[in-house]
Amino acid sequence: MGLFNSQRFNDIKAVASAPVITIGLTASMGGFLFGADTGQISGFLIMRDFLRRFAQYHPEAEELNGVPNDFNNVREGLIVGLLSIGCLIGALIAAPISNRLGRRIAMILLCGVFLIGNTVQVASVRAWYQMAIGRFICGLAVGGLSVLVPVYVSETVPKQIRGALVATYQLFVTMGILTSYCVNLGTSHVDDSAWSWRGALMIGYIWALVLMAGMFFLPETPRFLLAQGRKADSINALRWIAGKKGRQNSALVESQFQEMSAAIDEEKRFASKSFFSSFDPKDKILYRTLLGFVLQMFQQLTGANYFFYYGTTIFQSVGLTNPYVTQIILGSVNVVSTFPGLWFIERYGRRKPLIIGGLWQCAWLIVFAAVGSEADPNSSTVGSLLIFSACMFIFGFASTWGPGVWVAIGEIFPLRVRSHSASFATAGNWSWNFLLAFFTPYITSAIQYRYGYVFAGCNLIGVLIVFFFYYESSNLTLEQVDEMYTDPDTKPWQNSSRREAMEDEKQRGVLNAGLRDGPTVDHVENRDVSMESQTTKETERAV
């Protein structure tokens, strides 16, 4: 089933109001903030003023860095990696804060936290630990926004366009990374001044202020308002989001309100479940929780952040005159490759892109490691081949494992443990993000480009895990995914469920065609009865 067909285009066009597009683009600035903050540190590590202020005195580093200063492994790892620790904590605390204050207010507060962390970094003079603490504070905001932005968009925009706008968040992450590379290139021209890195940091205020200002004008999510018992506010928010269509078609707003009401009533049945319910072996809950954690872990172990965090350092070491340009090339590949990635996942399902992408990434990491470790690093040909192999690797990652793992996390967990299991899985991503950021300087100093072989092996292991443990979930409802995991006769490498899902999709298409002019009371009642039946089945399994 293709991504772009006339029926899907018409469905999207029917709900793509100006307020909906505004919500998607404004909220996705949280992803831009994430990408910009992640990508800038790579350039800072080779700026001469940054080295003079925060690195140790090493006379032998003069030839490489232009100044007799260089970072040891501990200091470099902490400055880079403390952002990830902040992100880990921010991701864990974002949910309870937003449940109490609301998604919108929580996002505004997190933007304020980012501004504080950025100010701590800008005000750093000589203390490297002040820079590290500032990055940790920014991480609290970035990690919290990495959870809340997709939640805000998912709970606000219509379901027909929800996937595209949630995916826009990932696109904005890659755009933020590329923008930070371009900013680093621009400020590197004043490399002997504090403005080389402070200027880049101060531009970061813009992204946070844009998101903060935008959220002041956007509504709270209708779903959160309804969960708080504020029905009138929820309906008003739905009308604002629908724009002109909502004013002309009250049945559209009413149907969305009824659908949310039924979903919230269903969730309340499982509200008493605790975090430890995610580790219940019954119905493969433990299986799926650990699978989510492992998929997130191996997304980090693909080696992508090896290039994003330390790319300028890597390519400076082979004698490239301007490693900032190399980073811009890698960042551009990352952005462009995200677009076909969305099509791959929709057209070929979940498993195939992850398996083929893992093998592709493995192959190019082997090329990268072999060329870097066996050839003359001072050769321009070697440098060009290293850049090319890195670009090919990033193309594979950005179009498969980058978005694919996040799609998996949103689909594999049953409703009763979804928030807890997703939090645990996300913790796996950020914890391994920190471990790689901190230990990469140690490892590269010992084995240099042979580090690529390590990541190549990790990609092969990731492929095997996907093949033997991850079920194909494309074209299935979340309820069908839950049934598939609990069916002892269905194996991950079987595709029979996919054919059944295609037939089910056709039936839903016929039903949607009959509802296109607006649902009737009978349709709403029948849907509620169906949801009640599915909820009863879920409750019986939980018991």
Residue 3, domain member (yes or no)? no
- CA–CA gap between residue 354 and residue 362 (Å, rounded): 12
- Which of 218, 240, 257 is the last residue in one of the domains? 218
In-domain check, residue 223: no
pLDDT at 524 over 50: no
Question: 159-218 pLDDT, tens per residue?
Answer: 666 656 666 777 888 899 889 888 888 887 787 777 888 988 999 899 999 999 999 988
Give the separation between CA 291 and CA 433, rounded to whole angstroms: 18
pLDDT averaged over every residue in the chain: 78
Give yes or no for residue 542 having a pLDDT over 60. no
* Parent domain of 531: 232-269+502-538
Can you tell me the distance from the alpha carbon of 226 to that of 467, in angstroms, rounded to the nearest whole number?
A: 41
Residue 489 scores a pLDDT above 60: yes
The arithmetic mean of pLDDT across residues 494-508, rounded, is 51
What average pLDDT score do residues 460-466 get?
95
Classify 70 as helix, strand or coil: strand
> CA-to-CA distance for 28 and 172, rounded, in angstroms?
6
Between 256 and 15, name the one with better pLDDT. 256
In terms of average pLDDT, the best of 103-112, 308-317, 377-386, 528-537 is 103-112
How many folded domains does the chain comprise?
Answer: 3
Average pLDDT value for residue range 140-168: 75
Strand-strand pairing, 69-70 and 56-57: antiparallel
The answer to whether residue 366 is domain-embedded is yes
Question: Would you state the pLDDT for residue 415?
Answer: 64
Q: Are residues 423 and 463 in the same domain?
A: yes
Residue 471, φ and ψ in degrees, nearest 5? -85, 145
Phi, psi of 3 (to 5 degrees): -75, -40
The residues with which 57 forms a beta bridge, in sequence order, are 69
Opening angle at CA 281, ends 275 and 284, nearest 5 = 100
Give residue 277's pLDDT: 76
What local confidence, expressed as pLDDT, does residue 115 receive?
96
φ and ψ at 57, to 5 degrees?
A: -80, 120
Contacts of 187 (CB under 8 A, 6+ apart): 195, 196, 197, 199, 200
The sign one gets for the Cα dihedral 484, 488, 493, 497 is negative
Nearest to 338 by CA among 458, 463, 176: 176
The tokens for 106 are 């929580």
3-state secondary structure at position 192: coil
- 35 and 86: one domain? yes
User: At 422, is the pLDDT very low, low, confident or very high (cuts 50, 70, 90)?
Assistant: confident
How far, CA to CA in Å, does 246 sit from each of 199, 241, 256, 328, 528? 45, 8, 11, 43, 22
**CB contact at 8 A, 219 and 104:** yes
User: Do 61 and 165 lie in a common domain?
Assistant: yes
pLDDT, average across residues 1-25: 62
Provide mean pLDDT across the span 308-312: 69
Q: Does residue 50 surpass a pLDDT of 80?
A: yes
| Three-state helix/strand/coil letters over 117-174 | HHHHHHCCCCCHHHHHHHHHHHHHHHHHHHHHHHHHHHHHCCHHHHHHHHHHHHHHHH
pLDDT at 316: 62
Q: Considering Cα of 205, then 207, then 211, then 214, what sign does the dihedral take? A: positive
Provide the β-strand partners of residue 69. 57
Confidence of residue 496 (pLDDT cuts 50, 70, 90): very low
Q: Are residues 244 and 303 in the same domain?
A: no
CATH code (residue 39): 1.20.1250.20
The answer to whether residue 227 is domain-embedded is no
Residue 11 has φ and ψ, to the nearest 5°, of -65, -40
Mean of the pLDDT values across residues 94-106?
84
pLDDT category at 133 given cuts 50, 70, 90 is very high
Residue 7 or 420, more confident: 420
In terms of domains, do 81 and 214 share one?
yes
Query: 356 or 516: which carries more pLDDT confidence?
Result: 356
pLDDT for the residue 539: 40
Helix (H) or strand (E) holding 436: helix 418-447
Write down the pLDDT at residue 290.
Answer: 92
Complete DSSP assignment for 526-542: HHHHHHHHHHHHHHHHH
Q: Does residue 2 belong to any structural domain of this protein?
A: no
Q: What is the pLDDT of residue 196?
A: 85
497 has pLDDT over 90: no
For residues 348 and 420, membership in a common domain is answered with yes
Same structural domain for residues 248 and 161?
no
What region does 448 belong to: left with phi over 0, alpha with psi -120 to 50, or beta?
left
% residues pLDDT > 90 (the chain):
19
Q: Do 152 and 26 lie in a common domain? A: yes
pLDDT of residue 15: 57
Does residue 489 lie within any of the structural domains? yes
DSSP letter, residue 221 = P
- Specify the DSSP element, H or E, that contains 56: strand 56-57
**Same-domain status, 255 and 303:** no
Among 54-63, 115-124, 139-148, 530-539, the range with the most confident prediction by mean pLDDT is 115-124
Q: Which of 317-331, 334-348, 455-469 has the highest mean pLDDT?
A: 455-469
Least confident stretch, 14-18, 190-194, 329-333, 519-523: 519-523
329-358 mean pLDDT? 85
- pLDDT tens profile 201-253: 999 899 999 999 999 988 888 888 887 888 888 888 888 887 766 555 566 67
**Which region holds residue 306: left if phi is over 0, alpha if psi is between -120 and 50, else beta?**
alpha
Q: Is the pLDDT of residue 387 over 70?
A: yes
Which of these ranges, 97-111, 121-135, 255-269, has the smallest mean pLDDT? 255-269
Residues 463 and 509 in one domain: no
In this predicted structure, what is the pLDDT of residue 170?
75
209 and 329 in a single domain? The answer is: no
Residues 289 and 204 in one domain: no
Query: Is residue 5 situated within a structural domain?
Result: no
Band (pLDDT 50/70/90 cuts) for residue 5 is low
Which among 504, 460, 501 is positioned nearest to 484, based on CA atoms?
Answer: 501
Q: Assess whether pLDDT exceeds 50 at residue 536.
A: no
| Among 225, 251, 228, CA closest to 236 | 225
> Does residue 7 lie in a domain region?
no
